[in-house]
Amino acid sequence: MLKDILPKLDKVKKLGERWVACCPVHNDTNPSMTMKEEDGKVLIHCFACQANGQEVVAALGLPASVLFRDSKRQAIPQKVIEAAKEDAYFIAIFESEKAKGSRITHNDFKRYKLAKERIKLLKAV
């Protein structure tokens, strides 16, 4: 939530219900980003570079989960965790074969992109 994000930002000021600060996505020098908490979520928008909450927390080195209240988060099902392990194995094989110059099928490429996206989502939680 905002208590985790605000200390990592520069030139933070409270304006009514919102906060403004310099955007870490584009190394802002004048506050151009607004933030507020609403319905258990942190809403963030940079008016200079159009960055959203996920981009901002990634630039700060924080997980995307700080954008949501803990009580709304659910545990990751075990089968999703097992699928992610299989994805990591597939990614390693795909990248190894690609580095060797092996022929990559369209289906393998689609599976690779899906696996990368699932791994990225799990790391964000």
Digit-coded pLDDT (tens) for 25-77? 888 888 999 999 888 888 999 998 888 888 888 888 888 888 887 644 456 66
Task: State the pLDDT at residue 122.
Answer: 74
Contact 29, 22 (CB under 8 A): yes
Task: State the pLDDT at residue 41.
Answer: 85
Higher pLDDT, 2 or 36: 36
Kindly report whether the global pTM for this prediction surpasses the value 0.85: no
Task: State the pLDDT at residue 72.
Answer: 46
Digit-coded pLDDT (tens) for 8-29? 888 999 998 899 999 998 888 8
Domain residue limits, the chain: 2-72, 78-124
Task: State the pLDDT at residue 75.
Answer: 60
The candidate with the shortest Cα–Cα distance to 21, out of 29, 67, 61, 54, is 29
Task: State the pLDDT at residue 99.
Answer: 95
Q: 114 CB contacts (<8 Å, ≥6 apart)?
A: 87
